[in-house]
Copies of this chain bind each other. A is one copy, B any other.
């Protein structure tokens, strides 16, 4: 993409009322725009990052048998009264609205009830189980305060998968499988080493639920990490009983700040009881379907990754989700001509390039490349063209710019 064809610009400032570091950086880099607290517009480069995160999650959900669908934001009262969650006192983040005829509606903050209702049309026999529908959808949550940028939104992207199983055993097998899938997601997002499966409070059907917590100074959660076992315990369940359950000692655990980047729950028959979702088993008996739910917030992940990896020069995206792999800077007339050709070649070979073809001083171009956090900055100047060289600098780490031949350049960015 040529920078001259994108309408956004970088900025030295962010809105005075924006207190979150991730939003400040993303706004300055032209990736998002603040519509109101907790509600952000995704601009061209920000949308690319979000879409890249979503695609990684999609691939891993499909790999465990997920069926992608899209539920609705508008919700009817009677669907949610079945579980008692229509009440603003039970679920305090509803946005409510009304049809023209006065009928009350709500904007879904989560989708257990409508998903369970939907499945009543498709599940009747043990032969129909297990199934794993999921969606990427904009959720609406009427948070009292929303000061964490993309990390706690009032309108935000969520992936929610729901499992429908015959029994606890079938459920447990899937629960293990999707735990692995979640680890793969964080690995691909560059958060693998930092992210711990964390024991948190369960419910009627399981002693524990599990969060995926990414260690970060920007986190608001406190967890206790066992590095050897690669697990952690949320402070809410940090008790002697839990330590004994997990066979770990207090002395082995380290207190850390972390951000919750996913959670998985054993729901059991809570919602299939409420909405009467049954199946006929092999013996002809009617049984309630055994459920689980599995969430990941792509927009929260974008905020966390933005904030966690940033340095004093700006954003630093992992290659897997960066809006482009290479930021191409041309300097001078011969440089521009050589850059035009290089841009076409790299794009045609599948390397995403942000080509800064503006008539700007080189310093401004380099500063924008760093603020935007593009993994590689590639410079083509008159002087370099004459020397048959290219200058390549990696965004992360303190690696120096390297002068490379054409072959060395292509090898460095993964083209042989």
Chain A residues at the B interface, C-beta cutoff of 8 Å: 5-9, 11, 30, 33, 35-36, 39-44, 47, 50, 65, 67-76, 95-101, 105, 107, 114, 118-119, 121-123, 128, 131-133, 138, 140, 142-144, 154-155
- Determine the chain B residues whose CB is within 8 A of the CB of A42 once the complex forms: 69-70
Which 9 residue pairs across A and B have the least CB separation, nearest first?
A: A7-B131, A42-B70, A95-B97, A97-B97, A35-B72, A44-B67, A39-B72, A39-B74, A100-B144
Docked CA distance A107–B154 (Å): 13
A7-B128, A9-B122 are contacts. A140–B74 as well, Cβ < 8 Å?
yes
**A95: B residues at CB distance < 8 A:** 74, 97-98, 105
Minimal beta-carbon separation of A115 from chain B (angstroms): 9
B41/A70 in contact, CB under 8 A: yes
Given A35-B114, A97-B97, A142-B100, do A71 and B122 touch, yes or no (CB 8 Å)?
no
CB of A41 within 8 A of CB of B118, answer yes
Sampled A-B contacts (6; CB under 8 Å): A7-B67, A44-B69, A47-B68, A72-B155, A73-B155, A95-B105
New contact pairs (11) apart from A74-B155, A95-B98, A100-B142, CB-CB < 8 Å? A5-B65, A7-B119, A7-B123, A33-B118, A33-B121, A35-B76, A36-B74, A39-B74, A47-B69, A101-B144, A107-B107
Name A71's closest neighbour in chain B (CB-CB).
B41
Q: Is the CB of B121 within 8 A of A6?
A: no
Judge whether B69 and A138 touch: CB under 8 Å. Answer: no
Alpha-carbon distance between A121 and B9 when the two chains are bound, in angstroms:
9
Report how far A121 CA is from B35 CA in the complex, Å. Answer: 12
Closest to A131 in B: B7
The docked-state distance in angstroms from the alpha carbon of A238 to that of B343 is 51
Residue from the set A7, A76, A114, A123 with the largest chain B CB neighbour count within 10 Å: A7
Whether B7 pairs with A143 at a CB distance below 8 angstroms is no
Q: A67–B6 contact, CB under 8 A?
A: yes
Smallest CB separation, A165 vs chain B (Å): 13
Given the complex of chains A and B, what is the CA–CA distance between A57 and B95 in angstroms?
Answer: 32
A133-B30 Cα distance, complex, nearest whole Å: 14
Nearest CB of B to A290, in Å:
15
Which B-chain residue is minimally distant from A143 (CB atoms)? B100
Pick from B8, B122, B144: contact of A8, CB under 8 Å: B122
Q: Is the CB of A67 within 8 A of B122?
A: no
Q: Are B70 and A73 in contact (CB under 8 A)?
A: no
Please give the distance in Å from A18's CB to the nearest CB on chain B: 13
Complex Cα–Cα for A122 and B27 (A): 12
CB distance from A27 to the nearest CB of B (A): 9
Evaluate contact between B155 and A67: CB separation under 8 angstroms.
no
Query: How far apart sit A132 and B5, CA to CA, in the bound complex (Å)?
Result: 9
Docked complex Cα distance between A123 and B39 (Å): 22
Report B-chain residues with C-beta under 8 Å of the C-beta of A123: 7
Alpha-carbon gap, A65 to B97, bound state (A): 37
Report yes or no: A70 in contact with B47, Cβ–Cβ below 8 A. Answer: yes
**Nearest chain B residue, comparing its CB with the CB of A27:** B121
Smallest beta-carbon distance A17→chain B, Å: 13
Q: How distant is A294 from chain B, measured CB to nearest CB, in Å?
A: 16
Q: CA of A155 to CA of B71 in the docked complex: distance in angstroms?
A: 11
